[in-house]
């Protein structure tokens, strides 16, 4: 990884920050993206990288950011599409928890309204942040990787993009789109020596899970290992896919779930 140039999105905290630190530890020069300029600057300063605050849902902004990386460094070797969101919907969460208790006690469940009350704005923001952002970044990076016949793109999917999630259909749809987008593009550019792969984590202890803190004991009960994953464990797998060690990975989606059934 020594001397490679990488852009990591959504890297001001959580998984993105852990991925940035892991890549930097192996000698990669990391451009740290985040919607929050202060968060991006802090992580970049910690690892000796660069900050690049922009919104991944903006096609022109993402293209300009990648062009800027290439103009400054002559190339882009690695792109990690990590930026993501979750919607905090406490009413749906409370009804879901009540239904879990009802099932355990043999009582009838009530409608959660998770999908029927989802707004257009919530749906659009979820799809644009995850799926559009991944597309915009991949397209911009490939414009430089294809002529160079080299490059590594790692997309962050989710186990919910494979098995689905009751209560977060928008998130599952976005992550499921990333899974098949990765498989398709990975096959498309494999013969050029470009590696496009994805990581599909299970439940990872990051700030994105903070709104669901009251559900943590129930989540841990579903995981055979008995615990949530750590951001550094995801970062290790991303680092693998962004390196020569993943020389036979093209369009692959690797999971790490603590044994959570898929």
Active-site annotation, residues = 171
Q: What is the DSSP string of the chain?
A: -TT-EEEESS-SSHHHHHHHHHHHHTT-EEEEEESSHHHHHHHHHHHT-EEEE--TT-HHHHHHHHHHHHHHHS---EEEE--------HHHHHHHHHHHHHHHTTPPP----TTTT--HHHHHHHHIIIIIHHHHHHHHHHHHHHHHT-EEEEEE--THHHH--TT-HHHHHHHHHHHHHHHHHHHHHGGGTEEEEEEEE-SB-SGGGGGGGGGHHHHHHT-TTSSPBPHHHHHHHHHHHTSGGGTT-SS-EEEE-TT---
> Burial of 35 by CB count in 10 Å (0-12 exposed, 13-18 middle, 19+ buried)?
middle
CA 114 from centroid of its chain's CA atoms: 22
Answer for the pair 150, 193: CB distance below 8 angstroms, yes or no.
yes
d(C-alpha 98, C-alpha 115), whole Å: 17
């Amino acid at each position: 990884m020594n001397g490679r140039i990488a852009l990591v999105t959504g890297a001001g905290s959580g998984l993105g920050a852990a991925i940035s630190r892991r890549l930097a530890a192996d000698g990669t020069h990391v451009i740290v993206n985040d919607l929050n300029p202060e968060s991006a600057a802090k992580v970049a300063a910690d690892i000796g990288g660069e900050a690049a605050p922009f919104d991944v849902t903006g096609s022109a902004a993402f293209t300009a950011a990648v062009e800027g990386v290439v103009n400054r460094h002559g190339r882009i070797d690695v792109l990690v599409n990590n930026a993501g969101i979750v919607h905090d919907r406490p009413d749906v969460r409370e009804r879901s928890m009540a239904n879990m208790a009802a099932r355990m006690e043999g009582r009838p469940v009530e409608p959660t309204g998770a999908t029927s009350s989802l707004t257009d704005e919530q749906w659009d923001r979820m799809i644009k942040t995850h799926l559009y952002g991944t597309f915009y970044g991949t397209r911009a990076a490939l414009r430089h990787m294809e002529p160079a016949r080299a490059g590594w793109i790692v997309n962050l999917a989710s186990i919910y993009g494979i098995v689905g999630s009751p209560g977060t259909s928008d998130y599952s749809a976005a992550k499921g789109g990333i899974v098949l987008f990765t498989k398709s593009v990975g096959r498309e550019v494999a013969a050029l020596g470009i590696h496009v792969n994805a990581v599909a984590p299970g439940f990872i202890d990051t700030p994105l899970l903070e709104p669901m803190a009251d559900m943590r004991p129930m989540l841990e009960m579903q995981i055979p290992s008995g615990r949530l994953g750590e951001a550094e464990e995801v970062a290790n797998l991303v680092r693998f896919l962004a390196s020569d060690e993943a020389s036979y990975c093209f369009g692959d989606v690797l999971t790490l779930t603590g044994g959570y059934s898929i």
